[in-house]
Amino acid sequence: MEVLTKNAIQILEDRYLMKNNEGVVTETADALFKRVAEYICGCEKKDSAKWSKAFYKVMSELKFLPNSPTLMNAGCDHAQLSACFVLPVEDSLESIFTTLKNAALIHQSGGGTGFNFSAVRPKGDLINSSKGQSSGPVSFMKIYDAATEYVKQGGKRRGANMGILNVDHPDIEEFIMSKSDKKSIENFNLSVGISNAFMKAVEDDSGWQLINPHTQKIARIISAKSLWELMVQEAWKTGDPGLIFIDAINDSNTTPDLGRIQATNPCGEVPLFDNESCNLGSVNLSRITIFKNGKYEIDWHELSRIIHIGIRFLDNVITLNHYPLPEIKISTLHSRRIGLGLMGWAELLILLNIPYASKKALLLAEKLMKFFQRESYDASEKLALERGTFPSWKLSTFGTSNRKMRNATCNSIAPTGTISVIANTSYSIEPLFALAYRRVGILEGKIQTEINAVFIKKMKMLNLWNSPIKKIVLESGNLNGCNNIPRKIKDIFTTGLDIPWKYHLLHQKAFQKYTDNAVSKTINLPEQTSLRDISDIYKTAYKYGLKGITVYRYGSRVGQVLQKCNVT
């Protein structure tokens, strides 16, 4: 069992380890990994002990971790193990409130929910039964938000939501502005569902029709460009709305016979049909290296081994999961979607002496993810031969090309917001936010100051670690003020806000190229970023064929999780 950091232990004790009725922790981290491994090998017909050992080993060595609900709940009664759900919202009070109840149950178990509200008739529309006026999708989002707020007080973690409204809905402006006061709808990420037709209208500076989903009639015609500018302005101000590119999502849908996908989970890494769920897991790249001839290298053999174990683990989760609703069980078992991704990318680059903002990093990202996808597909194919293909395989893109697959999708790049803290590595594919930082909010009231451990290790290897440098890093969070460190070395340690946005986007593009689900990435921007930059970022994301885009300008939200460190 690897030694855990203080932060990791704190998070585990607060949320993940079993407790007795008095709230006293009764489990160690080692026992947690054993509990999860034992439960997840429960559907292995032969060699169950072998798989239990293999699952335990990859988790306890912090080389692979499943998403939080699996760590929290595996082995408990009626364990719900998935992080990602999409629920239907139809144009009726019955549907809206049934889904609200189901979302509450999912949040209670640590899962997050995504909804596309575009079927709901606009504000002011006629309600046939009462002859009154409808209050529109944004009003219902506010009710969902309030419910989420209360459920989170009793649940294991904050319930996250994704609210989507398509760009041709008559209430789209109200939706775009709905978080403008920086205090409303805090439990939602917002995304506008963007179509290719809309992007063309912006390009052509033409009129854009808003269509009433209830009557299918044109409600208004507005300027596409003005609507675009409104999105850009709000995203600059608050970080919301992001965009999801619905056509790009459906172009790579492996099960088009099941319909069009309209929504994603809260952080955007899994496009899902209504009533579908997906479970995630991530490989910790910072631990998949070998030290040879004085240098670190990627251990490709070990990476392949971990990917095969990870895919098997996640496929088992689908079989063993207790689904919150029968319809979710049916849809999920139909496609058996899983999302194996990665964390620790920035730390891997540091170990390899490669600056994040470099062509070399982008080439490696593509090479690595191509390998990652190929190995994941091979693992899923092997499982298909052993256990059978996913039920809707025949009409899927895999069926038509006659490749046997156990899972309709295999890869997602999740934010790894908590599991990367447990594994003590950098988030997902994000650059280091800062070399020293305070983490706020994961554990309310407890603020932890950290200097990145891989950075210290590398600086020691370079014989550059000393107390004046430590002081500068603690004060500023970066090496910019260290005049005696060569540029070439500083570049390896460039942090998030000093990385030009183009490189953030290019990393997202490189990883998306070989990710069948999607990549959750935040384009972290300095405070002085202009409206024009945000517009360029959103347009470039579309041009690159990304499935979604989220920006965050430093300081634009109250209570951000990571803050640059200014402590002495």
Please identify every residue annotated as catalytic. Answer: 265, 267, 269
How far is residue 262 CA from its own chain's centroid? 17
158 lies in the binding site for ligand UDP (CB under 6 A): yes
Residue carrying the six token digits 């004085």? 294
How far is residue 54 CA from its own chain's centroid? 26
535 lies in the binding site for ligand UDP (CB under 6 A): no
Query: Which residues within the stretch 284-303 sit at the binding site for ligand UDP (CB under 6 A)?
Result: none
Residue 259 burial (CB count, 10 A)? 11
Residues whose CB falls within 8 Å of the CB of residue 528, separated by 6 or more in sequence, listed in order: none
User: Which residue, 105 or 485, is less far from ligand UDP as judged by CB?
Assistant: 105
How far is residue 336 CA from its own chain's centroid? 19
Give the shortest CB-271-to-ligand UDP separation in angstroms.
12
User: Which residue, 69 or 399, is less far from ligand UDP as judged by CB?
Assistant: 69
Binding mask 357-396 for ligand UDP (x = CB under 6 A): ----------------------------------------
Segment near ligand UDP (CB under 6 A); pick from 158-166, 233-241, 254-262, 387-395:
158-166
User: Which residue, 73 or 265, is less far from ligand UDP as judged by CB?
Assistant: 265
Give the shortest CB-343-to-ligand UDP separation in angstroms.
8
Tokens of 433: 């936010």
Binding mask 314-353 for ligand UDP (x = CB under 6 A): ----------------------------------------
Distance CA 452, CA 51 (A): 33
Positive/negative CA dihedral, 193, 197, 200, 201 = negative
Among 185, 267, 506, 549, binds ligand UDP (CB under 6 A): 267
Segment near ligand UDP (CB under 6 A); pick from 251-259, 300-308, 410-418, 482-490:
410-418
Among 112, 239, 242, 548, binds ligand UDP (CB under 6 A): 112
Among 136, 241, 266, 355, binds ligand UDP (CB under 6 A): 266
Give the shortest CB-254-to-ligand UDP separation in angstroms.
20
Nearest alpha-carbon partner for 517 in 163, 280, 348? 280
Residues whose CB falls within 8 Å of the CB of residue 141, separated by 6 or more in sequence, listed in order: 117, 163, 178, 185, 188
Nearest alpha-carbon partner for 278 in 337, 212, 191? 337
Q: Which amino acid is at 234?
A: E
Among 160, 306, 362, 368, binds ligand UDP (CB under 6 A): 160
Segment near ligand UDP (CB under 6 A); pick from 9-17, 157-165, 322-330, 349-357:
157-165
Nearest alpha-carbon partner for 15 in 81, 110, 149? 110
Tokens of 94: 């019955």
414 lies in the binding site for ligand UDP (CB under 6 A): yes
User: Which residue, 159 or 239, is less far from ligand UDP as judged by CB?
Assistant: 159
Residues whose CB falls within 8 Å of the CB of residue 129, separated by 6 or more in sequence, listed in order: none
Rounded to the nearest 10°, the torsion over CA 299, 303, 305, 311 is 180
Among 256, 417, 441, 526, binds ligand UDP (CB under 6 A): 417
Phi, psi of 62 (to 5 degrees): 60, 35
Give the shortest CB-149-to-ligand UDP separation in angstroms.
13
Residue carrying the six token digits 């380890």? 17
68 lies in the binding site for ligand UDP (CB under 6 A): yes
Binding mask 71-90 for ligand UDP (x = CB under 6 A): ------------xx------
User: Which residue, 100 or 414, is less far from ligand UDP as judged by CB?
Assistant: 414
342 burial via Cβ count (<10 Å: 0-12, 13-18, 19+)? buried
User: Which residue, 418 or 556, is less far from ligand UDP as judged by CB?
Assistant: 418
Segment near ligand UDP (CB under 6 A); pick from 32-40, 198-206, 262-270, 434-442:
262-270
Total chain residues near ligand UDP (CB under 6 A): 21
155 lies in the binding site for ligand UDP (CB under 6 A): no
Query: Which residues within the stretch 473-492 sit at the binding site for ligand UDP (CB under 6 A)?
Result: none
C-alpha gyration radius of the chain? 23
Among 4, 79, 111, 514, binds ligand UDP (CB under 6 A): 111
Tokens of 175: 């939706």
Distance CA 302, CA 384 (A): 23
Positive/negative CA dihedral, 344, 345, 346, 352 = positive
Phi, psi of 104 (to 5 degrees): -60, -40
Measured at CB, which residue is nearest to ligand UDP?
Answer: 112
Nearest alpha-carbon partner for 221 in 232, 230, 212, 233? 212
Among 41, 419, 505, 510, binds ligand UDP (CB under 6 A): 419
Q: Which amino acid is at 248?
A: A
Segment near ligand UDP (CB under 6 A); pick from 94-102, 289-297, 378-386, 408-416:
408-416
Residues whose CB falls within 8 Å of the CB of residue 195, separated by 6 or more in sequence, listed in order: 166, 167, 168, 246, 247
User: Which residue, 415 or 496, is less far from ligand UDP as judged by CB?
Assistant: 415
Give the shortest CB-61-to-ligand UDP separation in angstroms.
18
Please provide the distance, in angstroms rounded to a whole number, between the alpha carbons at the two ends of the chain.
34
Task: Name the site residues for ligand UDP (rule: CB under 6 A).
Answer: 67-68, 83-84, 111-112, 157-160, 265-267, 269, 280, 414-419
